[in-house]
């Protein structure tokens, strides 16, 4: 049995909106652990800050613009109006995160504004926001699978058709994935589908990833049996995280994303030394066994 925890709106960050109210498995942190357990540890347990990147901030501003766009009456959601929303969205993002001004210190924000406007213009080639009314925007979803595997995610948009069919939409400001990275996108889609199934009791009719950089849609129609199998996969992943959290054994795993990793100076694969393992966050004692209420892995995993 799954336990719906909460459904509410939340703040927006470059990697999607984040709050740190309780331990949970998110698509991003699950991907981290699968890719490199040490990266996962340094992010989710040590909480070593990573500087914001221009691409991530641009993505956050685009998300904020699209959220504001759907806050307007449908007839006003035309491209010219959308372009006027960029400065306000930028101001909001700046107010929420440190270190952003440095990213545009040389050129000023206008160049970034232009990049955001181009992406928002691309959006109109994929959907017409004047033709439908979203059911929810930037919704935070949390659910405990069997009271022991806490999942957390932020859904950019949920649409509900008059016949009750539900569509989950996620905006991506990068390019659509090639065959190598498609599995990661599919993992995220299944993650969302499972959370919707366990919180609302229905299988979404469609999940849609919108890649603005190359104007591409990736859609997926989940299947109930497939989601049940996926739940078992997440349960096994959570068990592996809990085991690693108990022993502190988070081995570095060299991979194609190492070149973008901010933790290289701390990584043995690149001649570095990680800081001593801090253990689970203070507010939690020992990680509990999977299946017992209140399993105790770190937050925002
Ligand atoms: S540099 Fe590579 S191996 Fe090292 S922590 Fe980062 S992702 Fe892992």
CA distance 141 to 188: 14
What's the angle, vertex CA 56, arms to CA 52 and CA 62, rounded to 5?
A: 135
Residue 54, classed as helix, strand or coil, is helix
Pocket test for ligand 1, best of 267, 270, 272 (most atoms within 8 A of CB): 267
Question: Is the residue at 109 inside a domain?
Answer: yes
Does the Cβ of 20 fall within 6 Å of ligand 1? no
73 by Cβ neighbours in 10 Å (0-12 / 13-18 / 19+) ranks as: exposed
For residue 46, how far is its CA from the centre of ligand 1 (angstroms)? 15
CA of 273: how far to CAs of 17, 38, 42, 270, 276, in Å? 31, 11, 12, 9, 9
Pocket test for ligand 1, best of 38, 44, 50, 251 (most atoms within 8 A of CB): 38
Does the Cβ of 252 fall within 6 Å of ligand 1? yes
Residue 20 corresponds to which tokens in the numbers above?
Answer: 């740190």
| Owning domain of residue 114 | 54-123
Q: What is the pLDDT of residue 297?
A: 33
Q: For the chain, what is the domain count?
A: 1
Q: Which residues of the chain have pLDDT under 70?
A: 1-23, 180, 282-301
DSSP-derived secondary structure letter, 23: B
Question: Is the residue at 30 inside a domain?
Answer: no
Question: Is the residue at 70 inside a domain?
Answer: yes
Question: Is the residue at 249 inside a domain?
Answer: no
221 by Cβ neighbours in 10 Å (0-12 / 13-18 / 19+) ranks as: exposed
Closest CA relative to residue 234, chosen from 16, 25, 35: 25
Question: Is the residue at 87 inside a domain?
Answer: yes
Q: What is the pLDDT of residue 165?
A: 92
For residue 25, how far is its CA from the centre of ligand 1 (angstroms)? 20
Q: What is the pLDDT of residue 151?
A: 93
For residue 49, how far is its CA from the centre of ligand 1 (angstroms)? 15
Question: Is the residue at 93 inside a domain?
Answer: yes
For residue 36, how far is its CA from the centre of ligand 1 (angstroms)? 6
Does the Cβ of 216 fall within 6 Å of ligand 1? no
CA distance 285 to 43: 19
CA distance 261 to 169: 28
Does the Cβ of 38 fall within 6 Å of ligand 1? yes
Question: Is the residue at 35 inside a domain?
Answer: no
Tell me which H or E stretch contains 192. helix 179-200
Question: Is the residue at 105 inside a domain?
Answer: yes
């Amino acid at each position: 049995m799954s336990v719906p925890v909460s459904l509410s709106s939340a703040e927006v960050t470059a990697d999607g909106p984040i709050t740190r109210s309780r331990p949970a498995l998110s698509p991003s942190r699950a991907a981290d652990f699968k890719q490199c357990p040490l990266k996962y540890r340094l992010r989710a347990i040590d909480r070593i800050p990573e500087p914001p990147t221009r691409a991530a901030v641009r993505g956050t501003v685009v998300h904020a613009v699209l959220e504001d766009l759907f806050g307007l009456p449908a007839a006003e959601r035309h491209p010219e109006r959308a372009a006027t929303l960029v400065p306000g969205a930028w101001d909001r993002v700046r107010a929420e995160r440190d270190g952003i001004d440095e990213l545009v210190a040389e050129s000023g924000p206008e160049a970034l504004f232009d990049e955001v406007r181009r992406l928002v213009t691309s959006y109109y080639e994929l959907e017409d926001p004047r033709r439908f009314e979203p059911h929810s925007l930037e919704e935070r979803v949390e659910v405990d699978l069997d009271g022991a595997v806490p999942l957390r995610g932020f859904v950019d948009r949920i649409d509900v058709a008059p016949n009750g069919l539900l569509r989950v939409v996620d905006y991506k400001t990068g390019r659509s994935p090639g065959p190598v990275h498609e599995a990661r996108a599919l993992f995220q889609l299944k993650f969302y589908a499972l959370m919707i199934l366990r919180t609302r009791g229905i299988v979404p009719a469609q999940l849609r990833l919108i890649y603005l950089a190359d104007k591409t849609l990736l859609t997926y129609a989940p299947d109930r049996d497939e989601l049940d199998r996926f739940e078992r996969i997440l349960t096994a992943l959570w068990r592996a995280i809990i085991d690693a959290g108990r022993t502190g054994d988070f081995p570095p795993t060299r991979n194609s994303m190492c070149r973008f990793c901010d933790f290289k100076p701390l990584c043995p694969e690149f001649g570095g030394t990680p800081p001593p393992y801090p253990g689970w966050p203070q507010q939690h004692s020992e990680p509990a066994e999977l299946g017992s209420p209140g399993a105790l892995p770190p937050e925002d995993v």
